[in-house]
Amino acid sequence: MTLTDVEEGKELLELRQSFTAHFGAAPDFVARAPGRINLIGEHTDYNGGFVLPVAINRAMLIAVRAVTLGKGQLELFSRNYNATTSFDLDKIEPAPYEALAWSNYVRGVAAALTEKGLLDLKQVGSAQFMLEGQVPLGAGLSSSAALEVATALALFTLAGFEPSKIDRVALALACQRAENDFVGVKTGIMDQFVSALGQPDAALLIDTRSLEYRAIPLGFRDLRLKLVAVDSAIPHSLKTSAYNERYGQCKEAAHLLAKHFNLPENSQLRDFTVAQLEAATAILPPLLFQRARHVLTENERVLQAVALLDEGLGKPTHLQAFGSLLNQSHASLRDDYEVSTPDVDLLVELAQQHPGVIGSRLTGGGFGGCTVNVVAEEALESFGLKVVEEYRRRTGLEAKMYLLEGVEGGSILR
Ligand code: GLA
């Protein structure tokens, strides 16, 4: 069994030391932004729907030092990639080659913050950044959103903003824009939003249309429940193209439904009910019908899950109902939305069959990545043994378990 956890204090110290060794002086501060795990509400955020993510105790850290060299320039060193790059703030261009693609998140955020008029990059000056990812890269736990949010916090701080004065919703929107325009994935707002605004021991219910949100306490500690991510170890190369394809299909489905129901042209799937969809079967091609059914039923599941959490999962029937919503979400992602893979399905199935598991499903964009599991504390060890080992036996893949906790959104550590 691989139980991976992070000793934040130790990692921070190491990062500061490594910064000093690399750049020849100590950093001024460290910007930290967490990754996320989504409990339920998958592929609903670019449809104006509801999501229920948790900011997790694995973060992206950027050690930062302001320097007075020349005109505005950022010099970046990534510890994960052991690579350096730099760019001018008055002429932000994409990374010159693929091996430096990680820097596009930083470049894109700097560009989006100016374009949106949130930050005058002249006030940022020049700086050195050392990046360190504690969020496993490419595992579906939003390492990229965490990097974006940490970058934005670093840039605001360099420009003299107090962390409490930063408009975090606007910050999240700029980070999403960086991902959409600079990186080229049509992602919704969920990951950046929860990375910027997450709250300890709670999930955030986000209405991705109005951007209203509410912290939903999980109470897992009192209930002796654990939030566990299992990384399927499937590399997901299909991710970007398939993600953008789903985005397009949802748009098309919403467009056809709007026409049918005489609603404004810019309606989103969020604007329709499952009953309306069922009444409109004939006007949607079967594939679009399936995609829309996932999104609409998933929105309902999020609201049902929140109602259960609001009342508390202490009642056994509530706990069971909550788990069953997670399991239904997976079935819908697998069958209607088709973003799972056979290996991820196996991982989820093995988890769901385990008696200590309340619910299990694919989390994040899909095509590999992580599953989210709610597991009874006393069953944790046998979960690791049975699920991870059986997965290895059947697939030859080494799944990794991460014990997660809900933490607060991004912050500046002095
Ligand atoms: C990725 C995107 C999010 C969201 C999920 C699927 O994580 O970044 O915006 O769409 O996929 O729910």
Secondary structure of 353-414 in the HEC alphabet? HCCCEEEEEECCCCCCCEEEEEEEHHHHHHHHHHHHHHHHHHHCCCCEEEEECECCCCEEEC
Confidence at residue 237, expressed as pLDDT on a 0 to 100 scale:
57
C-beta 365 within 6 A of ligand 1:
yes
- Using CA atoms of 391, 338, 50, 329 in order, give the dihedral in degrees to the nearest 10: -50
CATH value of 225-404 in 3.30.565.10, 2.30.38.10, 3.30.70.890, 3.40.50.2300: 3.30.70.890
Under the phi-then-psi rule, with left for phi > 0, alpha for psi from -120 to 50, and beta for the rest, what region is 407?
beta
- What residue spans in the chain does CATH classification 3.30.230.10 cover? 5-217+407-413
List the structure tokens of 86: 């730099």
Atom of ligand 1 nearest to the CA of 41: 12
Confidence at residue 183, expressed as pLDDT on a 0 to 100 scale:
83
Confidence at residue 105, expressed as pLDDT on a 0 to 100 scale:
96
Atom of ligand 1 nearest to the CA of 189: 9
From 85, 80, 315, 299, select the one nearest 209 (Cα to Cα): 299
Q: Is 30 exposed, middle or buried (0-12, 13-18, 19+ CB in 10 A)?
A: buried
Nearest CA to ligand 1 atom 11: 365
- Cα 375 to middle of ligand 1, angstroms: 24
Atom of ligand 1 nearest to the CA of 42: 12
120 is known as an active-site residue: no
Q: Please list the ranges in the chain whose pLDDT falls under 70.
A: 1-8, 236-239
Nearest CA to ligand 1 atom 2: 187
- Cα 44 to middle of ligand 1, angstroms: 8
User: Any idea which architecture 5-217+407-413 has in CATH?
Assistant: 2-Layer Sandwich (3.30)
Confidence at residue 6, expressed as pLDDT on a 0 to 100 scale:
53
- Cα 298 to middle of ligand 1, angstroms: 14
Confidence at residue 355, expressed as pLDDT on a 0 to 100 scale:
96
Confidence at residue 44, expressed as pLDDT on a 0 to 100 scale:
98
Confidence at residue 4, expressed as pLDDT on a 0 to 100 scale:
46
- Cα 369 to middle of ligand 1, angstroms: 12
Confidence at residue 235, expressed as pLDDT on a 0 to 100 scale:
72
C-beta 191 within 6 A of ligand 1:
yes
C-beta 179 within 6 A of ligand 1:
no
Q: How many CB atoms lie within 10 A of CB 69?
A: 11
Atom of ligand 1 nearest to the CA of 145: 8
Atom of ligand 1 nearest to the CA of 43: 12
- What residue spans in the chain does CATH classification 3.30.70.890 cover? 225-404
User: Which one-letter DSSP state was computed for residue 100?
Assistant: G
C-beta 45 within 6 A of ligand 1:
yes
- Cα 187 to middle of ligand 1, angstroms: 6
Out of 90, 181, 191, 207, which one is annotated catalytic?
191
- Cα 315 to middle of ligand 1, angstroms: 31
Contact 411, 36 (CB under 8 A): no
